[in-house]
Amino acid sequence: MSKVVIFLGPPGAGKGTQAKRLALEAVLVQISTGEMLRDHIARGTALGQQVKPVLDSGGLVSDAIVIAMIREKLSNMDDVRVIFDGFPRTVAQAEALDMLLEELSSPISSVPLLEVPEDELVSRLLERGRLEGRSDDNADTIRNRFKQYLEKTQPLIDYYATRGHVHPIDGMGTPEEVYTRLKAVAA
Ligand code: ADP
């Protein structure tokens, strides 16, 4: 049986951590475009070299690049059981995803939206930058990532709300507490 979870929420909300756990427990493939792009950068591929300055500035990689990555990933799956984390990030990406899912006869199951206040997001991202050294977790880049989120990704909340799938989840509290809330709407 197919299952498609689209995990929305701002940078630093904790989508990656939570998606990883849900993927394990609900037997889903976690598809994180951010991780796929960082992997290209780490391997020094042509694509990685092209997108590195974009990630370092906190901008968005072009829709064409990201949609091609997703198309390729989905085309290799027999049974579409996925949780998208960090994709889609623009209305164009959401429309492309709708078409792909239609072709695969795999409807959207749930759209959890992880909500965390902005001052908490900034301190989580700065802390992660300190601990993990992710090059885009610095004050200037964080500011741009929020700007991109507000302008380009936040409209997706309405996009999916009109399709009747969005489940807001409180992202404050321990990872365990947040996971319990996620599971209730997406497992
Ligand atoms: P976060 O949500 O914490 O910012 P991600 O790993 O999701 O982290 O994304 C890191 C960066 O990768 C983004 O700032 C952006 O430059 C790029 N990126 C990831 N996913 C997409 C996407 N779907 N469309 C465009 N750019 C993306």
Q: Tens digit of pLDDT for each residue in 40-58?
A: 999 999 999 999 999 999 9
The tokens for 142 are: 């964080």
Atom of ligand 1 nearest to the CA of 37: 12
Looking up residue 56, the CATH number of its domain turns out to be 3.40.50.300
Q: How many domains does the chain have?
A: 1
Q: Which band of pLDDT confidence, cut at 50, 70 and 90, is reported for residue 14?
A: very high
Taking the C-alpha atoms of residue 37 and residue 3, their distance in angstroms, rounded to an integer, is 24
Identify the domain containing residue 155 by its residue range.
Answer: 3-186
Nearest CA to ligand 1 atom 18: 34
**pLDDT tens, 134-172?**
989 999 999 999 999 999 999 999 999 999 999 999 999
Q: What is residue 120's three-state secondary structure?
A: helix
- Quick check: CB of 7 below 6 Å from ligand 1? no
Nearest CA to ligand 1 atom 1: 11
Q: What is residue 164's three-state secondary structure?
A: coil
Atom of ligand 1 nearest to the CA of 93: 23
Taking the C-alpha atoms of residue 94 and residue 75, their distance in angstroms, rounded to an integer, is 17
- C-alpha torsion angle, residues 5, 8, 104, 46 (rounded to 10): -120
Asked if 155 and 91 touch (Cβ cutoff 8 Å), the reply is yes
Nearest CA to ligand 1 atom 12: 34
- Quick check: CB of 19 below 6 Å from ligand 1? no
Catalytic residue list: 15, 89, 128, 134, 145
Q: Which band of pLDDT confidence, cut at 50, 70 and 90, is reported for residue 78?
A: confident
Task: Compute, in angstroms, the gap from residue 111 CA to the centroid of ligand 1.
Answer: 18
Position 76 scores a pLDDT of 85
Amino acid at 28: L
